[in-house]
Amino acid sequence: MPLKLKIDEKEQIEVRNGMPVYLDDENKEIELDANMLFDKIKDLNGEAKQRRLESQALKDKYNVFNEIEDIVAWKGEADKAIKLATDIDESQLIQIGRVDEVKANMKLAHDEEKVNLKKAFEDESKKLNSQIESKDNTIFTLMVTSKFSQSSLFSGEKPKTILPPEIAAKYFGHQFKVEKNDNGVLQVIGYHLNGSQIYSRKNPGELADFEESITEIIDEYPMKDSIMRAGFDGSGGSGGDHGNGGDKIAVLKTKYNEALKTSNTQLAISLKNQIFNLEQRAMNKRI
- pLDDT category at 238 given cuts 50, 70, 90 is very low
The DSSP call for residue 175 is: G
CB distance 218 to 227 below 8 Å: yes
The dihedrals phi and psi of 80, each to the nearest 5 degrees, come to -60, -45
Average pLDDT over residues 87-102: 64
Helix H or strand E encompassing 189: strand 186-190
Distance CA 69, CA 122 (A): 11
Give the count of alpha carbons within 13 A of 222, CB side only.
Answer: 1
- pLDDT category at 72 given cuts 50, 70, 90 is confident
Note the pLDDT tens digit of each residue in 127-170.
766 666 666 667 766 788 889 989 999 998 889 999 999 999 99
CB distance 76 to 110 below 8 Å: no
pLDDT of res. 239: 38
What torsion do the CA atoms of 278, 280, 285, 287 make, to the nearest 10 degrees? Answer: 160
Distance CA 118, CA 67 (A): 6
Note the pLDDT tens digit of each residue in 13-61.
888 888 888 888 788 888 878 788 888 888 888 888 898 888 888 777 7
Give the count of alpha carbons within 13 A of 260, CB side only.
Answer: 24
Give the count of alpha carbons within 13 A of 242, CB side only.
Answer: 11
The DSSP call for residue 93 is: H
What torsion do the CA atoms of 247, 253, 255, 256 make, to the nearest 10 degrees? Answer: 160
CA angle, corner 133, sides to 25 and 124, nearest 5?
Answer: 120
CA angle, corner 33, sides to 28 and 35, nearest 5?
Answer: 160
Closest of 229, 206, 224, 225 to residue 214, by C-alpha:
224
State yes or no: pLDDT of 64 exceeds 80: no
Q: Environment class of residue 276 by beta-carbon count within 10 Å: exposed (0-12), middle (13-18) or buried (19+)?
A: buried
Note the pLDDT tens digit of each residue in 193-220.
888 999 888 887 788 999 999 999 999 8
